[in-house]
Structure 1
Amino acid sequence: MEEADRILIRSLRLFGVELPEELQSLREFSTEMIVEAVVRCLHVIDPSLVSGISHMLPPGMSARFRIGMSLAQACQDLGFQGEVGYQTFLYSSEPDIRQLLMFLVEKLPRDSSEDTDQPIGKSGALQRAIAAKIREQLSLPWMPPSCRTARLQRMQGCCLMRHFHTQRLVLPEKCPFASDTVSSDVRDFYEKYLPTVTAQVSRRAQLAASLLERSLADVSGVQEREAEWKSQGLASRLSYEEYWQRKHQRLQKRVQEQLRQCSQRPTGSQFSAGASEDLMDTLSRSRQEQGKGSRSTPTERFTFKPELASSAGLMAVAVESLPSSRKLDQDNRTQQEEEVTSLQQQLEQLSVQIEEAGAEVKKLNLGLMQVEDGRKQSELHLAEKEDVMKVKRQTVALLSDAENNLSKLQLVVESSTKRIVHLASQWEKHRVPLVEQYRELKKLHQSRELESSRRLSDIKEIHEQIRAAAEEAKCKELLYKQLLTDHENLPKDVSRAAYTQRILEIVGNIKKQKEEITKILSDTKELQKEINNLTGKLDRTFAVTDELVYKDAKRDEAVRKAYKYLAALHENCSQLIETIEDTGTIMRGIRDLEEQIETEAGKRTLSNLEKILEDYKCIKQENMTLLSRIREG
């Protein structure tokens, strides 16, 4: 048991239970150690079972009882089949605690097989290092900023925190030193003109964020490319290079088509220029028809030039384009303003008229389309009626010589029938081999389709197997690296040979004990067999002797006394055997009682009774204190 206790104590220390170095057996565990070990094991197994439960026992007895009941309920929820209650923790016995701790240690995650949620490899080692660093920082007490040392300022201050700002990085898409994949101009650009990654960011703090974003974009692009190839590329039955080359060509054609369509559309400036010219021609004609406005000849000259103004800003350009050096009187200015106002009104009226004319044109175009549709339908009806009329005209022409025409028609029908039969026979001769060939080709095509589908499914399965094998190999490689790192981090002063020798000694002792037990059992069986043989021989000898002596006892008085002595001897021997058997039974009972005494001594009944009495006194004192407080309140 001492060796099992040492292994159990070592396992508890590995999972964060603080135990003294000189502790060697569960017999030396105190109540505080037991509660701490159980709470920490439950927290590692399932943190939800011990949420809100501290591993430190409170001083109050009522709170201790509540913690004991909570821990007992948590152990039962976890699947512990033994008897467990508050007394298991507060008034513990060595066998019960050993059984409970062995159950909890078996439930803990093993070092050799990591939990499924825990990462492995370099990432797992990094996460464990981060967790250790966080635990180290959390173990330090918080200090106000004015009392922090330089180390605490780095650990508890915000000087190392940075915002996640990124910048676009330009990196070589291929190896710049491979002459067969990169042209000389691109290689010269990479070698001479492309700045380094550290020089492409404006701030040093943005370098890590930019690299992370670029790496994530590259990884996601590769994953999307592989997913598209597995979903669409394999179904296209093309090679990897042909599939991406055709996709690139399709994208180029689509872009060229879009550019061609955009280049053929009329731009807004062309449309506005044409509309402006039409509008200026209309204004000129209306102005000439009116024949007024002779006073402001310069204004007319500048207003009706289509090269200088557009339809929206006609008057403003005309006013701004007047020579600034000319000095006009107040009357001329007033007349010009009035004329500008009248021209603006005319422009608005013309705009309204243009809109109305446009709407009328649309209506007329719609009516024209309807008339065109009606004309086409009338032409179709007329053509049909002309065909019918032609047939009727020919029929009427044939009615004049009906008998001859009927006989001729009969001959034509018979010849046509014969010709159709002949053509049918010829077609049947050609159709039969063609149908057979078609059926054979169809079967061959179906078989090829099935074969190609089967091969495509086999290719997909092979790809899946390759991917699974690659992932498994990657996981095993990471596991190997992690185990190698753990092996390097293990203490070198511990000799593996000593542990091996210790294990071999334990195995040898167990084997020796098994041999001794087997020998004792065999000796016991042989002894029991010998006892049974002697007992049977004794019974048979007594029966024979009794029969012989009894026959002679009827005739001789001395033989009668010998018979009496023989019966007394047999009775005394039977009593002696019974006494020996009773002595063996009593000795076995004594050994059982001694074992029970040892078990009860291991349960520490006396010390637990003393603890119970002390706890009872404490509870009584707490109750009296509470009653006094209630009375005072």
Structure 2
Amino acid sequence: MEHSPEILLNSLHNSGVRVPYDVSSVRDLTPATLVSICGQSLNLIAQTSSFPTSLPDSSVADQFNVCMDMASGINSLGYPGDVSFHKFLYPSEEDSCKLVRFLVERLSESSRSGSRGGVEGVEDMERVKEDSFESNVGNHRSGDDRLGPKWDEFTLNGEEPEVLNIEGEDASVGCDANHMLRRLDEMSIDNVSSRSDDLHSSEEKQLEEEMMAKTSELKHLEEELALLKEAVDIAFDVDHPAEFYLDKLNQQVDAQRQRLGELKSQQEVVRRPLEEKRRTLQETLCADNPDAQKKLQKLKQLEVEKESMLASIRKREEELTQLTMDLEKQPKLASRRSYIERVKEITKNSRKQEADIEQILKDTRELQLESNSIQERLHRTYAVVDELVFREAKKDAVGRQAYRLLTSIHENFEQIREKILATDRIRREATEHEKKLAAMASRSLNADKLQADLEVIRRENEYLEKSLQDK
């Protein structure tokens, strides 16, 4: 069970909740971190941003209000226990573990419902696209049916033939018709030739692109083959261990970084005078043209923005490198299979404990029945003996002495029985108190912090009272 808090934190991270990298277990959660995790989880569950994700530092009253809002949000989700502000301001490991486990369950339920809704929405969109496609195809076909095939013959390349003069002579009509046919043939031939040229050019471009892709892929495969050969040589090298090659690679990487730094410095040395020269030339060229000066000013602003963006990109890259190194230094978590094995082992142990508990309860009931039967038998035996000895006590002094001894023995054994029961009861109470003390010791309740918060609240109350009296 010691690895279950790590599973909870991993589940939170997979659900989209940002967990600080220095928090590796629930016991590392501070009040601010716990409030941040609970606020992000509630916002993801409710699909809103109304819950704060940080604990304010302004006053204790604001912290109290934020924690109360967080507690009401968790109670509205059906939290089985009691949640109040002290669960966030003064959290214990047990309470924090219960809260995080409850939020992980609710996040998993909301993610499952969201995935079902997303699948249904995608299916609806696909049905709408199919319907619109079919309707467009139907409209296109109906338009093609209405459009006559003969009109296509007379409207090549967007040109329409002239209307023949029916009132002219037959010879002129024949000549015009022959001229029209020759013109249509020329236009169709030109159109077909242009289409064939476009087709050949597109095929050539496609072949060139495929050739370039194949060439780059072949180059990439050759590089991979060279790397694999080097890896095989390193693996089968008996004279040198793997650390030797790692040191060698690190040295090469450092040398390349140093060389890149030198090249960048040389580039800066060469680039700065050229930039100054370019600026002076631009200013001299644009001195007499106001429009050119405005454009030059905008160009300078763009260059400044470009430099700032490049600087921010370099800064982000350095931060990414640092974070990657920190991530590599973090302890490696166990695999999913090991977690499954631990869960199976815990389940097996819990079932075994349940069987043992049932056997203990069964034995306890049997002992209780046996004890009750023995007590009843003792009472009956004592009643019979008491009656016999009492009869003898009426006759002589020896009987009276025996009766007094019997009565004293019965009273002494009754006192012993009561003391045994009281001792057992005290032992149980002591065990319960020890458990409560252990639970209180495990709580991370800081009395100094609580006292400091109380003093701050008192000062704030005094300030409010003075302000009210002044009004």
Q: Normalised by the size of structure 2, how large is the TM-score?
A: 0.50
Q: Normalised by the size of structure 1, how large is the TM-score?
A: 0.38
